[in-house]
């Protein structure tokens, strides 16, 4: 679902969009929320209403990885990366691991 597709989906599903928008964190800036919101809308059809919390948690895992450099188990990372395929985050921060930093110092 491209940006335009997400916006079309939102227009056609106003009630659902309002429900999703209620889950924006107070600490998320506009870029983070726009990206996480797209992640949610791209995957919402794969989750039943009763599993919305699971989708929201996965969206936070993906967002935390992209914007804060958090790392999770390889299986979880693979899952959220698959779910985020096609989402473009402009000017995303680049993080180095401790090992990469130490290697640069040698």
Burial of 40 (0-12, 13-18, 19+ CB in 10 A): buried
pLDDT, average across residues 43-50: 84
pTM for the predicted model, two decimal places: 0.79
Cα separation, 99 vs 18, whole angstroms: 43
Cα separation, 40 vs 14, whole angstroms: 14
Of the pLDDT bands very low, low, confident and very high (cuts 50, 70, 90), residue 72 is very high
Of all residues in the chain, the percent with pLDDT exceeding 70 is 95
């Amino acid at each position: 679902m491209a940006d335009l597709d997400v916006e079309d989906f939102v227009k056609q599903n106003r009630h659902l969009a309002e429900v999703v928008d209620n889950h924006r964190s107070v600490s998320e800036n506009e870029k983070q929320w726009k990206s996480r919101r797209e992640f949610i809308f791209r995957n919402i059809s794969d989750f039943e209403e009763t599993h919305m919390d699971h989708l929201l948690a996965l969206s936070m895992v993906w967002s935390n990885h992209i914007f804060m450099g958090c790392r999770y188990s390889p299986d979880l990372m693979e899952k959220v990366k698959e779910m985020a395929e096609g989402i473009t985050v402009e000017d995303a921060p680049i993080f180095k691991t401790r090992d990469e930093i130490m290697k640069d110092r040698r």
